[in-house]
Amino acid sequence: MELLVALAIGVLFTVGVYLVLSKGLLRILLGTTLITHGVHLLLLTMAGLKTGASPLLGEKAEAYVDPLPQALILTSIVISFGVSAFFIVLAYRAYRSGGMDDVEGSKGERR
Partner 1 sequence: MNNLLVLPLLIPAVTAVILIFLKERIGLQRMISAISACLNIAVAAVIVYQVSTDGIQTLYMGGWIPPYGIVFVADMFAALLVLVTAVVGAACLFFSFASIGEERERFYYYTFFHFLLTGVSGSFLTGDLFNLFVCFEVLLVASYAMIVLGGTRVQLRETLKYILVNVVSSSLFVAAIAYLYAATGTLNMAHLAVRVAEAGQGGVMNVIAVVLLLVFSLKAGLLLFFWLPDSYSAPPVAVRALFGALLTKVGLYAITRTFSLIFVHDLGLTHTLIGWMAGATMILGAIGAVAYNDLSRIFNYNIVISVGFIAFGVSVATADSLNGVVFYLMHDMVAKALLFILGGMIIAATGTEQLQQMGGLIRRYPWTGWMFFILALALVGVPPLSGFAGKVMMIRSGFGEQEVALSLIALASSFAVLYSLIKVFREVFWGGERSEEEIHPLRYKAMMAPAAVLFVIVILMGIGAETVNGYVAQAGSVLADPVQYINAVMKE
Q: Which residues bind partner 1 (CB under 8 A)?
A: 20, 25, 28, 32, 35-36, 38-40, 42-43, 45-47, 68-69, 72, 75-76, 79-80, 82-83, 86-87, 90-91, 93-94, 97-98, 100, 106, 108, 111
Q: Show Cβ contacts of residue 98 under 8 Å, excluding neighbours closer than 6 positions.
A: none
What type of residue sits at position 27? R
Query: What is the smallest separation between the CB atom of 76 and partner 1, expressed in angstroms?
Result: 6
Query: What is the smallest separation between the CB atom of 1 and partner 1, expressed in angstroms?
Result: 16
Contact 51, 63 (CB under 8 A): yes
Task: Give dist(CA 32, CA 72) in Å, integer.
Answer: 19
| Residue 46 vs 56, nearer CB to partner 1 | 46
